[in-house]
Amino acid sequence: MSHLKLTIGKIAALSNVSVETIRYYQKIGLIKEPDKPIKGFRYYNNDNIRDLKFIKKAQRLGFTLNEIADLFEIGLGQCSGVKLKAELKRDQIRSQIAELQALELTLSEMIDSCQHTRKPEGCPIIESLSKLE
């Protein structure tokens, strides 16, 4: 099926990305730009759609474009390399979750202190944020 000839607009629509996104991915070398014939348009195929969908799914899992480029470079036959990248990403996400939970706790404590303080002057949240520590 990779013999289909699709314009950049058509591949963008089929992949749920913008034309500008495709051009950006080409500019940074994430996807290959098809050769331009002497006359006419560049044409894309189903392999390009597959790659674009791969990129978007990987982004939803938290991979950066640089990390996605690494995944492309590792390739299909190197499951152990991909597994290592996925484990690193999972560990990074776990760390971010822990940091976000700590932030949530701090904000909850600040909100609680605000609700329990009946001082008409000042705000405990603003005071807490203004402290030099």
Q: List pLDDT tens digits, range 104-116.
A: 998 898 888 877 7
Give the chain's domain count.
2
Together in a domain, 101 and 64: no
pLDDT confidence bin for 126, thresholds 50/70/90: confident
Same domain, 101 and 129: yes
16 with 68, same domain: the answer is: yes
Host domain of residue 58 = 1-74
Looking at residues 79-96, what average pLDDT do you find? 92
Token reading at 48: 């390009």
- The last residue of one of the domains, among 28, 46, 74, is 74
Token code pair at residue 11: 């591949």
Same domain, 63 and 12: yes
Q: Are residues 28 and 89 in the same domain?
A: no
> Residue 92 and residue 62: Cα distance in Å, rounded?
9
CB 20 within 8 A of CB 60: no
